[in-house]
Structure 1
Amino acid sequence: MKLRNKRYILLLTGVLLAGSSCKKFVDINADPNNPTTAQLSLLLPSTEISLVANMYQLNSGTSTFVQQTVFSTGQSRFQQQGDDFSNSWDGFYSQTLNDLELVISNGTAQQQWGYVSVAKFEKAYLYSLMVDMWGDIPYASAEQGRQNPNAALDKGADIYEKLLVLIDEGIADAGKVTATTLVPSSADVFYGGTKSSWISMANSLKLKLYNQIRLVDPARSATAIKGIISSGAPLISSNTGDFTFKFGSNQNPNNRHPWHRADYQAGKTFYASQSWIDMLFNSDDPRLRYFIFRQNATAGLNNSTNSNGYYGRNPGDGTAAPADQSRRSVFGIYPAGGLYDNSPINNLTDANIYLDNTGATGSAKVVAVTDGTGAGIMPLITNAMVKFIRAEAALTLATGDDARQNFSDAVTANLNSISTYAAANGGTTLSVTAITGFVNRLLEQYDAADNSGKLNLVMTQKYIADFGNGMEVYNDYRRTGLPVLRTLLSPLNVFPLRLYYSQTELSANTFFSANGSQLQVAQQITPVFWDK
């Protein structure tokens, strides 16, 4: 697994930067401690690529914990191993964060404030993510990079405070740039250097962090969120402004979405989560055809042959996998860049309005590496997420924001985003009538619910809309306990409140090695600081 992921990172980096001079990029990796002025334009995009490339284990594992997929049977049963997230941890520290420090330090020395600001925003995002996943992590001493291999742990709450300051520093640095672009378009994989997009991302990240800490300091969160909204600070407010990574469609070398690479081959890595399938199917959700592709029209749970083709695995099922590689359901067109499922579903009823068989003229098939584009996406902070956050904050913190309107806008934004992506990648669009009708049905449920029920609707729809970003769903579930997940068939542990530290770190870092086993046990049952 580790070798495969490292190879993936190298291939992805090489391909996505092909237009920028691959030779010079190789030269950077050969001498990362001595970048020159010209190399900032190569080093920054390499941090952006490694940021997402190193998320594979993290995203897949957390998506399993929250029952959106099954990456491994052990994780499906809440059992962690020491190397489950080692590649993500090791890659973040040795690649992404190390290079970000180089961009910040060298960019500051050269007064290249555009590079500095983007690097600070990226650093703030990544460190906040790592705190959310692992709790206490190396921060202050980690900035010393290879000079201090035995970095100590900093408290997650303390790191959050520093990150909020760092975001403001990045915004101030961006203000020193008079142009509309912070860096050349070729130096920025996310936004092509557009200044306004990065400022919106930074403010949206602040909004996200303040909402994340609302349980431990509700007064502060409410004041801060009210301030962000009332000030008119730009937020991500359209799907075109999403902070989203776009994978490529090349097969050799392969820069496709890792979920496509793992499922669109003979030996598949994942199972679809049966609880995830059932939630979407039972709620008449048209997104099911986009999220899941059926390889067999009649396959069902436990390898049955008389169902509807939505064959997954129940959370916590510890039984051995049968011979079902050509029958199990796989990732669909969104977000992995697979196939859109346009086959008839044989057990729909007249009650199905939005998940129906209208225009379903396709057929199930065993997928191959040539199916789909693989040009999937990684949604990090999206327009829909921002609207859901505002709705949650309005319901729980009395921010004065319009929770109902934000809820409606969030679902609409997600449906439009999926539809637009599908249309550009060989799928089918959702009609305006279908989108409006589906949202209006949710609004009827919203209007009939009490405050608790409203929050449940908001968080359930955010759970669905965030598919592809298991880390964000994992955060939301720990903070709210919503949606209610299916009881595991055969759990091996309690729901993990933090992720296990990297086994590499435990072995190599003397700060960890003295009490490594105790640290790992504590990770499973110790909440992160904002999870009260």
Structure 2
Amino acid sequence: MKLKYSKYILLVTGMAFIASACNKFVDINTDPNNPTTAQLSLLLPSTEVSMAANMYKLNSGTSTFMQHMVSSADLSRYQQQGTSFDESWDGFYSQTLNDLESIISSGTAQEEWGYVAVAKIEKAYLVSLMVDMWGDIPYSQAEKGQQTVSPPLDKGAEIYDSVLTLIEDALKDAGKVTASGLVPSSADMIYSGAKNSWIALANSLKLKLYNQIRLVDPARSTTAIQALISNPATLIGGTTNTNSTDYTFRFGSAQNPNNRHPWHRSEYQSAKNFYMCQSFVDLLFNNDDPRLRYFIYRQNATAGLNNSTNSNGYYGRNPGDGTAAPADLNRRSTFGVYPAGGLYDNAPINNIPDTYSYLTNAGATSGLKVVATSDGTGAGVIPLLTNAMVKLIRAEAALALNTGDDARQNFADGVTAHVTSVSTYGAANGGVALSPSTINGFVNKLLTAYDAADAVGKMNMVMTQKYIACYGNGMEAYNDYRRTALPVLRTPLSPLNAFPLRLYYSQTELSANTSLGENAGALQIAQQTTPVFWDK
């Protein structure tokens, strides 16, 4: 990946040198076929692509911390390196944020307020996410080119305030656009330019951030959240509990060039690198959760933990297992149809309890196979901020802050939204849709348990369902766990370190950024045990 960034920089530098030389050779009018600045309509979608692409290591690593799957034995044992998340860090700064700054600057000069609004919202999402992951990061002096080549770290709390102001600025910019589209549909891979959808994202991001800081400033969070939920039509999901405004990046199904979901590329199109985490598999299986067939695909009907041959095919790896992997590439479970665009598991499961109503063998008539390049579409998704997440955030805030919202209804709506989203996506990608009665029955089963629980139990149920709804987005689950310690994770078998409270900085940053001083090594080590500002 470092070579990729070097080529990118060399290409841009080379183009600038050639342009300079040509200007000295002859003075001509500007050539309209060779613009000196990137077109906004091309630059905006490139930021959406680069943000999703650069999330690969970040998403996989945090998903490992959160026991959704196992991308690295070291990370499963809580051992970070300076290279663990360097590709995400370096890519966000050198590509995504750099291009977003160009859009904001050029768009403002051209009074293209729709582009400016979208770029500011995307920047707010990404910068707040980076604070959540790394804590203090370069911000106020970053993305200034040669003016500041070693930007200092800004405090996470101060960056959050700046981000919230940036969102308000974006909403004002969006208000200057009278059309229903902020930008042409072809220039926006997320919402096809739809103004109302971007506004819903902006308000939902505010909701997320204010809920995130509820432990350090509960009064501020309560007031802000009450204002946001007073007009639910302006949030993702609206008043009809629709998933149509989910902030989701959608990968393609093409192989040349390959734009499939990176987890599909890893597990279906090359030698397998990941394990499914046994604790997550067990959580779904033991709770009669029909989403298991969409999330996990079994390659073998009787494989089990430790490569046994007398289980039910749900063969993963326990968190913190540092033993060498056996010869099990064709037996271990892998990613299913959601979110990676793999296969839907419609084969019989040999030890489902008779008492189960939703994870059943009804209609399960398919066989299993070792996955291959041609299996699945690869047109997976990253659920960045969805209707289900918004509803469960509202439920959490109602329980924790007494916002006046209906925690029970939001809990039900959140689960309904997620199960419906998974089912709809699965059916569109080779799977089978769940019937409305199955979805309603599953939600009602959870509501019965919710009604019987005390306040602590209700919060546990909300955060457990949020944890499941974040499958495919380990970053958000990692945020929730550090704030609430829920759901309770399985104890790793042989941890090498404490649970990481922040991610390690890119080693490239530590080596090149002179503003960090001579204590860069100590700064790095402290990341493991230093809470992010909102984590009390």
TM-score normalised by the chain length of structure 1: 0.94
d(CA) in 1 for partners of 2:75, 2:2: 17
Name the SS for the 1:339 alignment partner.
Answer: coil
Shift of 1:36: 5.3
Letter in 2 for 1:41: S
CA contact under 8 A between 1:419 and 1:428: conserved in structure 2? yes
Q: Which residue of 2 aligns with 1:519?
A: 523
The verdict on how the C-alpha distance between 1:409 and 1:385 changes in structure 2, with shifts beyond 3 A counting, is same
Give the alignment partner of residue 331 of structure 1, picking from 331, 335, 344: 335
Residues in 1 aligned to 2:506 and 2:168: alpha-carbon distance in whole angstroms: 31
Stretch moving more, 145-154 or 105-114: 145-154
Contact 1:59–1:471 (CA under 8 A) maintained in structure 2: yes
TM-aligned CA distance change 1:271 to 1:210, over 3 Å:
same
Partner amino acid, structure 2, of 1:522: A
Judging changes above 3 Å, is the alpha-carbon distance between structure 1 residues 6 and 305 closer, same or farther for their aligned structure 2 residues?
Answer: farther
SS of equivalent to 1:468: coil
* Aligned counterpart in structure 2 of residue 432 of structure 1, from 429, 436, 440: 436
Distance (whole Å) between structure 1 residues aligned to residue 157 and residue 180 of structure 2: 34
User: Residue in 2 aligned with 1:269?
Assistant: 273
TM-fit CA distance, 1:363: 1.2
Deviation at 1:514? Answer: 1.7
Within the candidate set 444, 447, 465, 1:443 is matched to 447
Task: Name segments (4+ residues, structure 1) moved above 4 Å.
Answer: 26-38
Q: Equivalences for 1:400-415 in 2 at 5 Å?
A: 400-415=404-419
Q: Match of 2:498, as an amino acid?
A: V
Unaligned stretches of 5+ residues in structure 1: 11-25
Structure 2 unpaired stretches of 5+: 20-33
Pairing of 1:311-326 with structure 2 (within 5 A): 311-326=315-330
In structure 2, the partner of 1:90 is 90
CA distance in 2, matches of 1:119, 1:224: 23
Match of 2:64 in 1: 64
Three-state SS of the structure 2 residue aligned to 1:525 is coil
Deviates more, 1:299-308 or 1:492-501: 299-308
**Who wins on radius of gyration, i.e. which is larger?**
2
Name the stretch that deviates more: 59-68 or 344-353. Answer: 344-353
Rounded to whole Å, the distance in 2 between the matches of 1:231 and 1:314 is 44
- SS where residue 406 of structure 1 aligns? helix
Task: Give the aligned length.
Answer: 515
Name the CA shift for 1:159/1:75 in 2 (closer, same or farther; >3 Å).
same
Listed as ranges, the matches of 1:119-268 within 5 Å are 119-231=119-231, 234-237=234-237, 238-268=242-272
Partner of 2:379: 375
The answer as to whether partners of 1:164 and 1:206 remain within 8 angstroms in 2 is yes
Aligned residues of 1:299 and 1:309 also touching (Cα < 8 A): yes
Amino acid at match of 1:488: P
Q: How far, CA to CA, are the matches of 1:73 and 1:106 in structure 2?
A: 45
1:301 maps to 305
- TM-aligned CA deviation for residue 298 of structure 1: 0.6
Query: How far has the Cα of 1:145 moved from its partner?
Result: 3.5
Please provide the CA RMSD for this pair.
Answer: 2.0
Do the aligned residues in 2 keep the contact of 1:113 with 1:174 (CA within 8 Å)?
yes
**For the Cα contact (< 8 Å) 2:93–2:143, is it kept in 1?**
no
SS in 2 for 1:357: coil
The CA distance in 1 between the partners of 2:476 and 2:232, in whole Å, is 25
Query: Quick one: distance in 1 between partners of 2:41 and 2:508?
Result: 31
Superposed CA deviations along residues 120-145 of structure 1, whole A, max 9, x for unmatched, are 00000000000000000000010313
Which residue among 477, 493, 515 is the counterpart of 1:473? Answer: 477
Q: Is the 8 A contact 1:203 1:233 kept in 2?
A: no
Offset at residue 231 of structure 1 (A): 4.3
Kindly provide the amino acid, as one letter, of the partner of residue 415 in structure 1.
V
1:397 corresponds to: 401
TM-score by length of 2: 0.93
Report the equivalent of 2:457: 453
Q: Which moved more, 1:44-53 or 1:124-133?
A: 44-53
- Percent of aligned pairs with the same amino acid: 71
- Contact 1:134 1:500 (C-alpha < 8 Å) held by counterparts: yes
